[in-house]
Structure 1
């Protein structure tokens, strides 16, 4: 079996008692792939250095996952990470052209860091290795590796949406960026919508020959395959958290604090793509329309801060605090507060308990590549008394979790009316219907798990002949 070399912006560095950083999402998925295939995970350490040398820091964990990291200069971090990746590509890929910054120096820093990644990663890659690159930080990395003589199979997976062509062409040098991406052998997207947007761009703007059935893109005789690979959660691992003392304590803590009200929960990184202000507008509309139900429902919004050095993230935090305060000011009584806004993170065990105690889960991003919180919420439910998932139709997860109209309640996150209406439906939904919806959703979450995601991608990469 070929060894796997994973390359991503950040690396979850192993420690003596496990892996640092996020336990879900990309970190959990890639650790699962590396455990199964062996190899190395390479990326930025998160640390800065005054003078870039390219020297590599190695860490090997007890379960055999080896990480290799490099430090970047402050200018690299500002231009490549805070700049082009998170102030240009991230908002553009989430359809927020109004927040997208087009700065020439950002683009230069992005190219420079991708070259540094290629130079440092090349010596780690052996002849038969398969290389799997991740996310929008490293779109041109394959082209850089090819220019250094690498002939190995290289795959790429995008964890964000891919915007429609009429938005993407606003990016300076957009053709150059996509042509660089076509040096990958296999391109993976979260769902059909993002895949179709990419294929349309290649056909319309590059004049490539595109086979929409197979995903083959032929540009000047060079062929690349593009397909959808919906990412899942590590279902068995996540389920094992349900019966832990920490999860049980968190569940009982939340139930006790609600005082016979139904708990409704949202867990989102503090980001403008998550639709949090719009979500609070929908909750406010619900309470305005159903004032008597203030005593039936309490909403808990957990929103850990992120990217606090970027101005737009500071703005979203201030907006949320203001909107939560307005709802509570209008709807609170001496013995209740309808909205609890919590600006901190919790352990995975605690989140499992909170999910299980909440009979409505709100996952309403304006755009999202997939959104694993939707899947975690379902995995945490009690099969005998499951909650209802309200899900944005603009999340990648909606394609799987609609279940023919019998799974999640799909909503337009821009519509306060739509959200308010569906909160009311969820509150009054009979147990029999909740169980029917849950059974369809849990089958999807259980079967379309992260192991299947990695197996499918790696198998397809293995089959592609260069």
Structure 2
């Protein structure tokens, strides 16, 4: 079995239960092969230490049978590659927010420079038969940099965020270079069929790509395999978390404290893509047009801090403070606060208990690659009396979770109507919907996601025969 090499912007110890979503997703595959995980250390080298940009040392440590290799970044590289191009260009554009993008040419140069640096530092660590799996928008050109240095390994890429339609992608000044870079991979995976369609339409219209088969495209003298691989969760592991002491304690506390209320819950990062102001407006509409919910329904909205040094996020925080305060001032009673707004991190081990105590989950992003909160909420429910999921049709999860109540988050009145339906839905209908949703997230769980993608990558020929019968090069 080939060793798996995972490359991502950040790494994490895959043994730790509090590790993030990517760590959970790749942990099993890395441990099976004694794999290598490479990425930024999260540390910034200040100029005072005398080092120059791109000259950082690789730090290697072991986590069980997994090797973690990390690299520090200079302040300039961090600010241009990470804060600049990744978060001020690619993130807003890929989430359809052209108005928030900052197309500073220095950002693009820093993004290319750091991807080249990653390739330079990773290449000496590779073995000839390694299988390389690159993750997310920060590292789109990494395979092209590796190919230029002579790497012939199979390399796959997975985009965790949405793929925008061709005309939105074309707003990025470097869009042609970015999309050409993806053809240096052997396999590119997307969260949804919609994302796959957007990519296919882009390369067919902009790069005149030839479709060789439903999952193979040819352009730039290379053949690329593509597919939709919706990421999942470890359902049994999350259920165990719900049944743990912390999960049970949280459930009991919420059940007792809100015994006279019906809980609605939202759990998000504080990000403009999550549709938080629209969600609060929809809750106000619920209280306005369905007054029976006053003194009865409470929204607990957790908005974890995120990129607070960026102006757009500071504006969003102030907007949320104002909206939630206005609802509580207009509708609240001495013994009832309509919105409990929490702007801090809540321990992951407590979330399943909160989900289980809630009658409705509001997962209503304006655009999202997948959104695993929707799947976690389903997994945490009591099958005999499950809560209902209200889900944005613009989340990648909506392609799979058809039995949820799908909404347009821009239509706040329509969203309020869906929330009311969720609150008044019969037990039989909730049970039937939940059973179908649970079966689907169990079938297409995180193990299915990683094994299916890696098997497809294993099946790729690193130098496929071209459509005209000539042999392709890896470059």
The 1-side partners of 2:367 and 2:393 are apart by 9
Aligned to 2:430: 434
The C-alpha deviation readout for 1:193-243, integer Å capped at 9, x for no partner, is 0000000000000111124x5221111431011110010001121111121
Deviation at 1:27, TM superposition (A): 2.0
Aligned to 2:111: 110
RMSD: 1.2
The C-alpha deviation readout for 1:309-364, integer Å capped at 9, x for no partner, is 11111111111111111111111011110100001112222001000100101100
**Matching of residues 100-179 of structure 1 within 5 Å:** 100-179=101-180
Aligned to 1:245: 245
Aligned to 2:32: 36
1:19 maps to which of 5, 10, 16: 16
Q: Which runs of 5 or more structure 2 residues have no equivalent in the other structure?
A: 463-475
Deviation at 1:13, TM superposition (A): 3.5
The C-alpha deviation readout for 1:385-416, integer Å capped at 9, x for no partner, is 000000000000000000xxxx1000001111
The 2-side partners of 1:246 and 1:41 are apart by 31
Moved more, 49-58 or 161-170: 49-58
* 1:425 has 2:421 as partner: yes
Aligned to 1:6: 6
Deviation at 1:23, TM superposition (A): 3.1
The 2-side partners of 1:147 and 1:221 are apart by 15
Q: CA distance change for structure 1 residues 190 and 153 in 2, over 3 Å: closer, same or farther?
A: same
Q: Secondary structure at the match of 2:308?
A: coil
Q: Secondary structure at the match of 1:60?
A: strand
Aligned to 2:44: 48
Q: Which runs of 5 or more structure 1 residues have no equivalent in the other structure?
A: none
Aligned to 1:194: 195
Deviation at 1:19, TM superposition (A): 2.8
The C-alpha deviation readout for 1:113-151, integer Å capped at 9, x for no partner, is 001100011111100001000000000000000000000
Q: CA distance change for structure 1 residues 110 and 220 in 2, over 3 Å: closer, same or farther?
A: closer
Q: Please give the TM-score of this superposition, normalised by the length of structure 1.
A: 0.96
The 1-side partners of 2:5 and 2:126 are apart by 7
Q: Please give the TM-score of this superposition, normalised by the length of structure 2.
A: 0.94
The C-alpha deviation readout for 1:375-394, integer Å capped at 9, x for no partner, is 00000000010000000000
The 1-side partners of 2:391 and 2:423 are apart by 15
Aligned to 1:456: 452
Q: Is the 8 A contact 2:183 2:220 kept in 1?
A: no
**Matching of residues 209-288 of structure 1 within 5 Å:** 209-211=210-212, 214-288=214-288
Deviation at 1:25, TM superposition (A): 1.9
Give the total of aligned pairs.
456
2:443 maps to which of 444, 447, 450: 447
The C-alpha deviation readout for 1:66-96, integer Å capped at 9, x for no partner, is 2110000011111110100001000000001
The 1-side partners of 2:70 and 2:454 are apart by 23
The 2-side partners of 1:316 and 1:210 are apart by 42
Deviation at 1:54, TM superposition (A): 3.1
* 1:59 has 2:61 as partner: yes
Aligned to 2:69: 68
